[in-house]
Amino acid sequence: MQRSPEERHVGLREAERKAEELFKQVEEKGILRSGVTEKQVNKEIYELAFQMYEIKKYWHKRIVRAGKNTLYPYRENPPDLMISEEDIIFLDFGPIFEEWEADFGRTYVLGNDPYKIKLRDDIAQAWQDGKDFFLSRPNITGSELFEFMCRLAEQYGWEYGGPHAGHLIGEFPHERIQGDEVENYIHADNNIEMRETDKDGRPRDWILEVHFIDREREIGGFFEQLLTVE
């Protein structure tokens, strides 16, 4: 059944609200801690999501990365690490709530390392900068927004860590709209206007993500949420 843009936005907004609440509970319950592996944290978050929302389906692999693994973009599969005191950790989960996809990413810092805290705060502000840039340009293309995000990384004193800065989002299954083609991504080679409609004439909705890294110190931060749904 084809849903209206309004119904679509209600579904996407509610899915993201639930994902945000899940992440809040992850933090409050102390699941992010030293002395356990990334894999163990991932398992505990999966179990919590089931307890809260009976979620079993995720449209992409569930990511928990700590320490030097935070350098790696989504497609990589680095070895499982033990989380250490003073570590930086990021989560990237794509839960499905009643056939609506969420895609939510946040960064957390164990301890009080000011450099890691700066990274965590910078990516959140950079996401807002990216949204403001998107809103200010009605005909913006994916490549223009990606290039802006890369420039932002430099302005904040970091390097952009991924091959793109976001992607389309919608109803499950995501594969119907999310392939490897660059037009599905906020990518350097995507010269299509982001506000162009899909093949059925419907508005397309986007996720904006920020991945800033410092290769020398072997840390990265990640922030991701809906761009086109208020």
Distance CA 15, CA 102 (A): 5
Mean pLDDT of 180-187: 89
- The model's pLDDT over 93-140, given as tens digits with 9 standing for 90+, comes to 887 776 777 889 999 999 999 999 999 999 999 999 999 999 999 999
pLDDT at residue 59 in the model: 56
Mean pLDDT of 135-153: 99
CB 124 within 8 A of CB 208: no
Q: Over the chain, what is the mean pLDDT?
A: 91
pLDDT at residue 112 in the model: 97
Crossing angle of helices 142-155 and 114-136, in 10° steps, is 150
Radius of gyration of the chain (CA): 17
Mean pLDDT of 71-86: 95
CB 148 within 8 A of CB 202: no
Q: Residue 60 — very low, low, confident or very high, per pLDDT cuts 50/70/90? A: low
Token pair 């509970």 is found at 25
Q: Residue 152 — very low, low, confident or very high, per pLDDT cuts 50/70/90? A: very high
Enumerate domains of the chain plus CATH numbers. Answer: 5-226 (3.90.230.10)
pLDDT at 1 over 70: no
Distance CA 86, CA 149 (A): 27
Q: Which residue has the higher pLDDT, 60 or 197?
A: 197
Residue 189's SS3 state is: coil
Q: Residue 172 — very low, low, confident or very high, per pLDDT cuts 50/70/90? A: very low
State both tokens at 169: 């989002």
Q: Which residue has the higher pLDDT, 174 or 162?
A: 162
Q: How far apart are the first and last CA of the chain?
A: 23
CB 90 within 8 A of CB 105: yes
Q: Residue 175 — very low, low, confident or very high, per pLDDT cuts 50/70/90? A: very low
Distance CA 63, CA 41 (A): 10
CA angle 16, 22, 24 (to 5 degrees): 105
Distance CA 137, CA 115 (A): 33
pLDDT at residue 98 in the model: 63
Give the HSE-up count for residue 34: Cα atoms under 13 Å, Cβ half-sphere.
Answer: 9
CB 57 within 8 A of CB 96: yes
pLDDT at 58 over 80: no
pLDDT at 170 over 80: no
Distance CA 98, CA 205 (A): 18
User: Quick check: bond before 203 cis, omega within 30?
Assistant: no
pLDDT at 183 over 80: yes
| Strand locations in 82-129 (E) | 88-93, 96-97, 100-101, 104-109
Mean pLDDT of 39-54: 93
Mean pLDDT of 151-174: 88
CB 124 within 8 A of CB 223: yes
Q: Residue 177 — very low, low, confident or very high, per pLDDT cuts 50/70/90? A: very low
Give the HSE-up count for residue 50: Cα atoms under 13 Å, Cβ half-sphere.
Answer: 8
- The model's pLDDT over 212-225, given as tens digits with 9 standing for 90+, comes to 999 999 999 999 99
pLDDT at residue 25 in the model: 97
Q: Max CA-CA distance within the chain?
A: 51
